[in-house]
Structure 1
């Protein structure tokens, strides 16, 4: 009986629900697809634009009988729809045989003087600062956001595959995307309700999160952090919009006329406001651009509606579709405010139409705007705790009132579906595999520990030969207030065990007061960093490079114990104070000596350094955003600067410590998003050591004898080639993101990306420090004659995962064994 009633109810639902769906391809008379053709429902503001391949799909809640298809240079065609659902439509447009009086056709590079669409665009630029919340002294509004992930392009073959055997119940409730027309299965949903307050005079803004609810992978902060960074806020009036670490030229950009074609297409009333419709599409392929249209008011020139779809040829990996909609509400005759923001991304390995992927969807709704309410400055500086347990425990009544946009049936079913899936062993297995690949740790829930890091299991170097490493950490949850972690390693050549262990305890969550300590006894390559290591668990890639350039024999035995206290009384401003005791000796004395002059030694020479240091560090990371409130947090963005000021005081005598000295160090790293020409990363480091210290405590200009491209090192320097007690270094690396290659016909389709870099270092070493380390068997040289410099040219995105860098040494070519040229590379899954 149920099997009979279900299709009956389904039929009644379809007949009783007014909805129009269209999809297909637009071609010319030769059968070639017409990209960026306009597909509209007549006498409305609803419609879409074909993609690069001439295909389109659109859903409307309205009841329409016809569509109108047009493109510049072709005759407009009106088509009667056969029903409510019209898929696989094949529409052929004829070339225009005569010029219509009311239509101006623009091909190639448009004239900025004669195009009415560009005249309107100029008025948008002049008015944009007068629209929105920034026109008032202060403001507040409610904000509701939901983020969803769905498995898409589901067909019978997938449902019947071995992978989903036993999980067929997942596919009982499938829906189709109103953007792409593909079936999808919801897998994750996160909802957040908050109140936002701002004062334009004080230039302060704060957001109080009142509710947070998730289902699916919500307990995994790595996934949540990825989602947060993926869907960062943006403003369509900005010249460039950042998505997936890329800068896309906004269709409202002042530079848009250089990359887009604009056509004034239509005009109509929207909410009693007369609006113009402007279609835009890119001039060239393979650039980071959109295609779509927007509606703009004829008097205030504020955008009322806009949709943006990234072209398939855009130089971006693993993303097949990006579709954005924004709607703005009328507050008064002159003020438009953001009402709804919708973004859909289709993640897939291939951009082919039939390829399967995962939808990522974010919907943000804004309401209840209030303006010019006086509040003291202290109100904005008093931040609420977004990790208050009450925020995550709001009841159904709260969410009924908080949802500014109701969940649809599919979204409502996610909570039940995911609760069920958590109990299915096969699904848990899939989840665990993905989690291990992402974190590098195997979770042992019944013991509350993780095994790993798996990516550090194997290594090789000249001192240890092949080495193996295994470790574990405590793990009760993402927000643990304390964590213990350790590892053991064994070298098959030196036949020695190594170890490292640490403990971290969060004593005060508000001020991020953390006490930590640990011990490490291992072999390390210290010549890859200007700053002495205090990390008892980490290990540089140079210490275990499977392939190196020349001999990787300048290695150090290190026995390091540390204890420190850290606090963050002000957001993104951290203070750290601690002590460290280290013992240093060469791991291969016959090839690399750390000997120094020691009058107290019977031989007059010592081969081991014992040193106790007190360290004070200030770290400032303005703009950094994190997630979580435990002793370890995840960073969810990468566009913040990092400033570090460190002072180290070495004490002699205490715990048999050998040297009394001081060291002051400063570093500043800044990423620069340079609009349409890519991303520049810059780093400046300065340092000065006061007092006499041996080689093991001097500052080594970081070289690189591995085959991997590493930032902030000098790939054509050997380890310990330059040693200093006073230094200054500069690193500049710019990724054009394919800006140049996209203009070269033979390279355009490869979606390669060009990277250039330049690096420089100046330093000196005192005669006293050279004399102190005279027994060493390597020369102590500093780049004091002139600044040492290198430059490089790189090609990224080779087969979407590889990058090759060609590195050139600029000077000091007369040095023994100098490497004038080298090739390094790396791989990774980057957008």
Structure 2
């Protein structure tokens, strides 16, 4: 997943913006020809507007043709400009003193943070907090409405020379279409777009909501099996009324949060009577520019304190990597003179790899949401809200072009964008670049049609038993939605001169309910002392032999010959039942250095190998996880989510040669906790117990890690098999401050590092009957008398410019005495390559 995350960021050179019908860029000046920051600029007769930045500059666009632009500022006469062209650049607007408002409150931006009593904006914020649960569709007994969404990706900030290199002979046709997206003589070129139209039904008395997908279409490179869908889900629907807004796995404090006054400066610009209603216009600014907050403005009504519009963006100094800017707009309309409902949302992400400079090429992600056809207080039958339309095929909601043209949202002019994307799909240079992206993101490269070679990230590794390990494999792949998927790999060690292999096949037996059957077979060396809990019993997901440079000695490998059959039943995308049968033969990979010897329970004879046959059942619950795709291998979004696993393992003696009857349970709870501007706490708690006497490979070693990498949910300063238990409890707590501390330390804050702290512990026991069975080199030791713990701190977001994927941890442990080989260190430094925002 870390490799996949890294590859995801390489895709950031691709993105898109929707095409505007009218676009204006320019600067607002005062009578002294000085730029005017925070002036309002909008299209006359609309709610489409922006504020100028600190240099008085603005960029304003509309999806429909606009003829008049208006600039205004408190105490100045409004200036109207007639637009002669659909695209106007470098417009200069001058404002003169003299405007008289019906009611004006002028508040200068304070040089220091004003107290709640001093700032008139605080009273308005109190009104918003008191009424925020009384606004929107929640005021109605029942509601339904249409929701159209378009998400587009594309290259940004391209000049004509660069554009010619990409599209070659197709430059003229592409440039003609994308010229409406020019911004400061730069081009934005689309490569992918996804559109959906949904019908939303809700009943507030029942507290239920039903969302029916009515239509969906995808255009662009994603249809060739890429992972652009993960990027397109950068933005979920944002509710500014929530105290915290989670974006890119970071919690941003909303400007109207009840905690907002601690992190924002508020400026009440004016109050104007419009349409017989008094509206306040409030600006907000970060108190600390690097914090995860926004800057912008919102308008709010006087009586019910409902938002009529809000625009906000991230500060250029914000402590986020790979992000140049995030920008959001939300608009609301009044219904029955009291209820304000959303009409349109606009989200935009601007990402770059190296710097935040305005002239660097990068990518855009843009999302438009249009809400229409509201019907209020007409509830349906109670049972209706429990219904659900399940999507089981990628083409299930395909509609003809005429359907899309009939939508109210067709005013967004997406047809031109789709035409450019279709042209680029067949462009040889674009396809060659995206092929490289596929290799980097998946670790596989095409060998011939339907077959890929890989996994590239496991090509070379090293351990004491095998020496240099060389591994390569093949997998079937036609598209992301393949119903059947198979893979095979082979590995060879230059030291032991032995060949290893593994194979796996899976088939999507049923779309609804979703049922997947699979089988696997391997004959390979595995590190059972570093094994984490797994949700299926196919080929292992955690390959602890895949290490280039390790700490200490790693002779503790087991040679495993294993055959498994797996059945996965999905009650929903986030609730799975997994049933499997596993037959395995286990012995030590290097008996001269490592032994799994045990006494036969009946004869007392010392045996050095075992046969194990188990029946396993697991229940996996992942609330909030985003899952997409309709093939045998579904894909996961990048949003953090909880994971709860309940697993029962039953050993069966005498079945297919099984040597032991035993029962084993494992429980794992992994949960991220967003703590607003205080950061994110990642927690993992795991419990396991073996109820019967079994040899070493079937027990529960405390998960150790002998690499120099940051490996989640493992103990960095333990050697493999330092602790062996039949009953254990482990917990890992890791708090990421997201810059809260480092942003406030002079000089150090320029580094843009982010701090973290962690604590983890292991507690467990080993029964006397398991100790008595042991005849191996391993002496059984468990953290029963004293909890074993590791703790420390670290820094992440280390790098250069806008690319900061590195992390370093400083780790200590409590005292314990190793009884199996070398003493593990009491202090260590670990490094991670974990690209994230």
Structure 1 length-normalised TM: 0.90
Q: Distance in 2 between matches of 1:111 and 1:47?
A: 30
Give the counterpart of 1:597 among 581, 596, 599.
599
Pairing 1:276-355 to 2, within 5 Å after superposition? 276-349=280-353, 350-355=355-360
Pick aligned residue for 1:356 from 354, 358, 361: 361
Task: Pick the aligned partner of 1:822 from 817, 828, 835.
Answer: 828
Given that residues 813 and 820 in structure 1 are in contact (C-alpha distance below 8 angstroms), is that contact kept between their aligned partners in structure 2?
A: no
Q: Is the 8 A contact 1:365 1:405 kept in 2?
A: no
Deviation at 1:402, TM superposition (A): 3.0
Cα-to-partner distance string for 1:756-790 (whole Å, 9 max, x where unaligned): 111011000011111211x2112210000121111
Q: Distance in 1 between matches of 2:93 and 2:127?
A: 38
How do residues 386-785 of structure 1 correspond to structure 2 at under 5 angstroms? 386-388=391-393, 391-408=396-413, 411-444=414-447, 446=449, 448-531=450-533, 535-538=537-540, 540-598=542-600, 604-773=605-774, 775-785=775-785
Distance 1:279 1:390 in 2: 45
Counterpart in the other structure of 2:251 = 247
Kindly indicate whether the alpha-carbon contact (under 8 Å) linking 1:307 and 1:326 is maintained by their aligned counterparts in 2: yes
User: Alpha-carbon deviation of 1:20?
Assistant: 7.2
Cα gap change, 1:452 to 1:90, in 2 (>3 Å): farther
**Which of 365, 383, 398 pairs up with 2:388?**
383
CA contact (8 A) 1:530 1:700 kept: no
Match of 2:13 in 1: none
Q: Secondary structure at the match of 1:553?
A: coil
Task: Find the aligned partners of 2:371 and 2:684 in 1 and give their Cα distance.
Answer: 39
- Give the direction of change, closer, same or farther, for the CA distance of 1:390–1:103 in structure 2 (3 Å limit): closer
Task: Label 1:65 to 1:635 Cα distance change in 2 as closer, same or farther (>3 A).
Answer: closer
Partner SS for 1:330:
strand
1:158 paired with 2:158, answer no
Please give the residue correspondences for 1:783-794 in structure 2 after superposition, counting only pairs within 5 Å. 783-794=783-794
8 Å CA contact 1:20, 1:64 repeated in 2 = no
Moved more, 486-495 or 420-429: 420-429
User: Is the contact made by 1:565 and 1:577 (CA closer than 8 Å) also made in structure 2?
Assistant: yes
Alignment pair present for 1:141 and 2:145: yes
**Which of residues 226, 229, 234 is equivalent to 1:225?**
229
Residues 534 and 562 in structure 1, CA contact (< 8 A), matched pair in contact too: no
Pair 1:46–1:357, CA change in 2 (3 A): same
Q: In 2, distance between residues paired with 1:400 and 1:803? A: 49
- 1:631 Cα offset (Å): 1.4
The CA distance in 2 between the partners of 1:685 and 1:454, in whole Å, is 31
Whole-Å Cα distance in 1 between the matches of residues 625 and 105 of structure 2? 52
Tell me the CA shift for residue 463 of structure 1. 1.2
Q: 1:42 to 1:110 in 2, by over 3 A?
A: farther
* 1:214 to 2:215 alignment: no
Q: Quickly say closer, same or farther: Cα 1:377–1:510, change in 2 above 3 A.
A: farther
Report Cα offsets for 1:142-175 as digits up to 9, x if no partner. Answer: 11001111222121331344x5544534333223
Match of 1:10 in 2: none
Q: Is the 8 A contact 1:142 1:366 kept in 2?
A: yes
SS of the counterpart of 1:583?
strand
For 1:117, the equivalent position in structure 2 comes to 121
Instruction: Extract unaligned runs of 5+ from structure 2.
Output: 1-19, 98-102
C-alpha distance after superposition, 1:672-701 (max 9, x if no partner):
111111111111111111111111111010
2:5 match: none
Contact kept, 8 Å, 1:520 with 1:536, in 2: the verdict is: no
How many Å apart are 1:805 and its aligned residue?
A: 0.6
Residues 107, 268 of structure 2: 8 Å contact kept: no
Query: Aligned partners of 2:96, 2:818: CA distance in 1, in Å?
Result: 69
Within 2, Cα distance between the matches of 1:219 and 1:569? 27
Q: CA deviation at 1:76?
A: 6.9
- In structure 1, distance between residues paired with 2:331 and 2:788: 54
Partner Cα separation in structure 1 for residue 615 and residue 430 of structure 2: 50
Aligned pair partner of 2:262 in 252, 258, 262: 258
Which residue, out of 43, 47, 50, partners 1:48? Answer: 50
CA–CA separation in structure 2 for the residues paired with 1:705 and 1:119: 57
Give the structure, 1 or 2, with the largest relative contact order (CA under 8 Å, sep 6 or more): 2
- 1:376: Cα distance to partner? 3.7
**Aligned mates of 2:439, 2:368 — CA distance in 1:** 30
Matches within 5 A, 1:17-36: 21-24=24-27
User: Offset of 1:125 from its aligned partner?
Assistant: 0.8
Going from structure 1 to structure 2, the CA distance change for 1:769 and 1:264 (only over 3 Å counts) comes to: same
CA distance in 2, matches of 1:317, 1:53: 24
C-alpha offsets along residues 170-226 of structure 1, whole Å, 9 cap, x if unaligned?
Answer: 333223559888531222221101111122232222211111111112325653431
Whether contact under 8 Å (1:58, 1:181) holds in the other structure is no
Q: Check the 8 A contact 1:279/1:293 in 2, yes or no.
A: yes
Instruction: Kindly state the Cα deviation for residue 538 of structure 1 after the two structures are TM-superposed.
Output: 3.6
1:712-740: CA deviations, max 9, x gaps? 00111111100000111111111111111
The separation in 2 between residues aligned to 1:186 and 1:613, in whole angstroms, is 52
- The alpha-carbon deviation at position 93 of structure 1 amounts to 13
Instruction: Specify whether residues 78 and 577 from structure 1 end up closer, same or farther in structure 2 by C-alpha distance, changes over 3 A only.
Output: closer
Secondary structure at 1:721 match in 2 = coil
Distance in 2 between residues matched to 1:386 and 1:663, nearest whole Å: 37
2 CA distance for matches of 1:809 and 1:91?
A: 66
Check whether the contact 2:151–2:194 (CA below 8 A) recurs between aligned residues: yes
After superposition, what is the alpha-carbon deviation per residue over 1:422-474, rounded to whole angstroms, capped at 9, x for unaligned? Answer: 3333322112111111111223563x222222222221111111122221222
Aligned length: 798
User: How far apart, CA to CA, are the structure 2 residues paired with 1:471 and 1:26?
Assistant: 64
CA separation of 1:47 and 1:630: change in aligned 2, threshold 3 A? closer
Aligned residues of 1:225 and 1:635 also touching (Cα < 8 A):
no
> How far 1:415 sits from its partner (Å)?
2.7
Q: CA deviation at 1:637?
A: 4.6
- How far does residue 367 in structure 1 lie from its aligned partner after superposition? 0.9
How many angstroms apart in 1 are the aligned matches of 2:49 and 2:196? 30
Counterpart contact for 1:221–1:634, Cα < 8 Å: no
Aligned partners of 1:698 and 1:723 also within 8 Å:
yes
Does 2:197 correspond to 1:193?
A: yes
Closer, same or farther: CA 533–117 of 1 in aligned 2, 3 Å: closer
CA shift, 1:597, in A, is 1.4
Report the Cα distance in structure 2 between the residues aligned to 1:439 and 1:646, rounded to whole angstroms: 29
What secondary structure is seen at the aligned counterpart in 2 of 1:580?
strand
**Contact kept in structure 2, 1:530 and 1:699, CA below 8 Å:** no
Task: Give the direction of change, closer, same or farther, for the CA distance of 1:533–1:356 in structure 2 (3 Å limit).
Answer: closer
CA distance 1:433–1:86, change in 2 (3 Å): closer
> For residues 22-70 of structure 1, what are the alpha-carbon distances to aligned partners after superposition, in whole Å with 9 as ceiling and x for unaligned?
4349899999x99x63344699876534446775433476555774467
Distance 1:527 1:57, change over 3 A: same
